[in-house]
């Protein structure tokens, strides 16, 4: 049987990640795995096509990351206390790229993530972070629709 020693669980605070917790905790318990909970804030420097002074973007990005770190601390205390080995990570960048980068850096064996279920024009414009991760990841990705978890 394949061992799963490290699990990456990317979350978006706006989504209902709690419905995926039974999946994550089951794998973590079964294999004694470390769970890396990751939140990636979109890097606002990517939006430099319109004029906003760089200092303003940097200050706002710092505020976003600080708020995300506080939120992650609260989320970890509330939702992940039953999982013995948990590490939380807050980063900025392109979400799909950062997820794959962290998975590679940490030597992750499994990524468990939710899908948004975007369709039509919304999917064409925003794409799917989950699809990009599935295509680029060097480990298996368990993609779960939170509404059906």
In a domain, 71, yes or no: yes
In a domain, 76, yes or no: yes
Range of the structural domain that residue 67 is part of: 6-148
In a domain, 1, yes or no: no
CATH label of the domain that carries residue 68:
3.40.50.620
Which two three-digit tokens encode residue 117? 């279920």
Which two three-digit tokens encode residue 61? 């990005």
The string of pLDDT tens digits covering residues 28-75 is 999 999 999 999 998 766 555 555 555 677 788 888 899 999 999 999
In a domain, 63, yes or no: yes
Average pLDDT of the residues of the chain = 86
Q: How far apart are CA 36 and CA 56, in angstroms?
A: 31
Based on the structure, what is the number of domains in the chain? 1
In a domain, 131, yes or no: yes
Structural contact between residues 99 and 38, judged by C-beta atoms closer than 8 angstroms: yes
Mean predicted confidence (pLDDT) in 16-27:
92
In a domain, 19, yes or no: yes
Q: What is the pLDDT of residue 53?
A: 59
Pairing of strands 86-93, 141-144: unpaired
Residue 121 has pLDDT above 60, yes or no: no
What lies within 8 Å, CB to CB, of 1 at 6+ separation is: none
In a domain, 128, yes or no: yes
In this prediction the pTM is: 0.87
């Amino acid at each position: 049987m394949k061992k799963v020693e490290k699990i990456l669980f990317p979350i978006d605070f706006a989504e209902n990640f709690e419905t995926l917790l039974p999946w994550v905790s089951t794998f973590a318990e079964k294999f004694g795995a470390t769970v890396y909970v990751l939140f990636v804030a979109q890097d606002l420097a990517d939006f430099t096509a319109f004029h906003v002074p760089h200092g303003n973007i940097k200050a706002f990005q710092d505020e976003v990351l600080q708020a995300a770190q506080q939120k992650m601390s609260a989320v970890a205390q509330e939702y992940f206390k039953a999982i013995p080995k948990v590490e939380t990570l807050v980063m900025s960048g392109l979400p799909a790229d950062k997820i794959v980068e962290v998975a590679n850096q940490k030597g992750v064996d499994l990524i468990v993530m939710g899908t948004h279920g975007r369709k039509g024009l919304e999917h064409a414009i925003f794409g799917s972070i989950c699809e990009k991760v599935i295509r680029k990841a060097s480990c298996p990705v368990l993609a779960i629709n939170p509404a059906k978890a």
